[in-house]
Amino acid sequence: PSQVNHGNVIFPGSGAITATTYNAGITIEYAEQTTVLSLPVLRRLRFPADGNWQPSPQQQARDAAAQTVLAALSLCAVELAAAKGLDLRSRCLLWPDEPRRWELLDKPGTEPACYHLDADAARELLAEAIDQARNVDLTWHDDPITLTPAEKLVELVCRSQELMAKQTDSAEAD
C-alpha cells in the first residue's frame, strides 16, 4: 500500500538495521502545529451582487460579511478537527500539552493578541457570521450538498483496487 501512498512508509535501513528490517516509526519529543489564516488575503476577496462589483457602502458591507464568514468557517474547521483528536499519521497520535490558542498578528513590533477558541465557540462564531452575512443579502445554503464522482473517476478507483488485489494475491502466492 505504501507504493500507492497508503499505509506506512518504509524507510531504508541504516547502521545495524539491515535492508530487510523495517523501521516501524520514530519517537519525537516535540512537534508544533501551526495554522495560518491570512486576513490580508481574505480582505482582497470581493463578493459582488449579481456579478457587478461597484464600490459602495453596501458592497463593502457585503464583502466584509463574506470575508468574516470565510474566516469563521476556517477557524471552525480547524477547531472541529482538533476536537476529534489530531494524528500526525496512522497510529501516531498528537497530544497537546496545553490548550490551543490563536494569535492575532496586528501590528509589527507588538506582541500578538492571544485567543482561545473551542469547537462550540467556533460553531457559535460561524453561526453569528452567517446571520450577519444574511443581513446584507448574502446567501448561505443550509442543506448539505451531495457530490457525485464522475464515472471516469469511479472506473479509475475500481481499476486501482483490482490492481492492488492482484498484486496482493500474487505476493501471497509467492
Q: Tens digit of pLDDT for each residue in 121-171?
A: 999 999 999 999 999 989 889 899 999 999 999 998 898 888 888 877 776
Cβ atoms of 37 and 122 within 8 Å: the answer is no
C-alpha to C-alpha distance for 56 and 165, rounded to whole angstroms: 60
Which string of b and e fits 120-149 if b means at least 16 CB within 10 Å?
eebeebbeebbebbeebebeeeeeeeeeee
78: enclosing H helix or E strand: helix 57-83
C-alpha to C-alpha distance for 55 and 43, rounded to whole angstroms: 14
pTM > 0.85: no
- Give pLDDT, residue 174: 66
Cβ atoms of 167 and 11 within 8 Å: the answer is no
Q: What residues of the chain score a pLDDT lower than 50?
A: 1, 13-21
